[in-house]
Amino acid sequence: MKRAMAVLVPVLLVSFLASPIAGADDAARALPANGRILFTHCDDASGCQIYTSNPDGSAVDQVTHAAGEAVQGDWSPDGERITYVSFTSGDTAIWIINADGSHPRQLTPNDPDSDNYWPRFTPDGVWILFTNCFTEECDGGISMIKTDGSAMQHVTPNSHDSYNLADMGPDGRLAYMRWHVAGVKMAIYVSSGNGSHEHRISPPRLQGWYPDWSPKGGRIAFTSEVFWERPAPSLYTVRPNGSGLEALTHPPFPHSDVHPAYSPNGQRVIFESDRRYDDFCCADLFVVSASGGAPKRVHLPFDAYEPRWGTAPIVPTPGIAARQLPVASGPPCAFIRKLAVFGDCSIRQRP
């Protein structure tokens, strides 16, 4: 990928950042209704795949059937497509698929020298941000590619500076996590859409990771205790200027709440938690008010990870019984060796 992306396309990036959609005032637009959620589930029969369901856990549908497994999904803003990471081609690449499971296709080319993770649609649905990793520690940078696989280019420096997991706000700014900047092990940073004017917004003590913008752009949710390096990661929100830090969840020690994602209307946050498992083997999805409070479990027929909340229409399910599937099978890092670096699987193994 370093060879494929050696030539930057600054004109394209400037054009994107100046577009009315990327810079529009989200507060002036009506927010969409909450639709279906997506998540990763892994089992011995299918490996790790992307699933969708209604927010209450009903009408579960397996979207991907990837031979090389599929993880880290994200919805397009219109709810019609899903981007994800797959190993089907023999490399760690960004893929896209229609939400009904049709027409899966690889977007980023294979490259033996790097891997691609954490795809996120931009608010206009035209681009996908992703992280290009050079090492097992994922030293690399934020890149972007159009949904048709064209115009791949760097956004931040791609020279082992460790820019990871970018999410774009409604005004075109980026939130992402970075390792080891000015003595801070991990924190959340905000910058302009081209990576300039960067500033840290999460306190060093929290070791913040996995940022997600609220739909109106007023707050950013994130997880503390990067990759479970310390017990009891939990969720926080903060304003894009670093003020107004608030705890969103309080998992029972030493359990974990991770991977927050705002609902399309901005009123709720979905996340994964192992709070029901004494052996930390597995996780369920929970929903909490965006202002905090008691989380409510999403009643899926199995364990689930890496949730995202989209706008795809709710599927009516009158009189339809839930599918009987394995209760718990374990997190993606227990199935895919490459993912173990992004979480301590020694305490998150399959039962």
| pLDDT of 7 strictly over 70 | no
Which band of pLDDT confidence, cut at 50, 70 and 90, is reported for residue 54? Answer: very high
* E strand or H helix at 154: strand 153-154
Task: Find, among 280, 340, 329, 255, the residue nearest to 40 by Cα.
Answer: 329
List, for residues 133-186, the tens digit of each pLDDT value: 876 667 678 999 999 999 999 998 876 668 889 999 999 999 999 988 888 889
CB 94 within 8 A of CB 82: no
Which band of pLDDT confidence, cut at 50, 70 and 90, is reported for residue 28? Answer: very low
Highest mean pLDDT among 6-15, 233-242, 320-329: 233-242
Other Cβ atoms closer than 10 A to 250: 13
CB 216 within 8 A of CB 203: no
How far apart (Å, rounded) are the C-alpha atoms in residues 279 and 350?
9
| pLDDT of 29 strictly over 80 | no
Domains in the chain with CATH codes:
38-347 (2.120.10.30)
Residues 6+ apart with CB under 8 A from 59: 36, 53, 314, 315, 317, 320
Going by the DSSP 8-state scheme, the letter that residue 21 receives in this structure is H
Task: Find, among 15, 17, 4, the residue nearest to 168 by Cα.
Answer: 17
List, for residues 230-279, the tens digit of each pLDDT value: 888 999 999 999 999 999 999 999 999 999 999 999 999 999 999 999 98
Pairing of strands 37-43, 47-53: antiparallel
Q: Does 59 or 2 have the greater pLDDT score?
A: 59
Q: How distant, in Å, are the alpha carbons of 18, 32, 304 from that of 263? A: 26, 9, 17
Which band of pLDDT confidence, cut at 50, 70 and 90, is reported for residue 17? Answer: very low
Which band of pLDDT confidence, cut at 50, 70 and 90, is reported for residue 336? Answer: confident
Task: Find, among 328, 262, 341, the residue nearest to 41 by Cα.
Answer: 328
Which band of pLDDT confidence, cut at 50, 70 and 90, is reported for residue 333? Answer: confident
Helix, strand, or coil (residue 293):
coil
pLDDT of residue 30: 85
| pLDDT of 121 strictly over 90 | yes
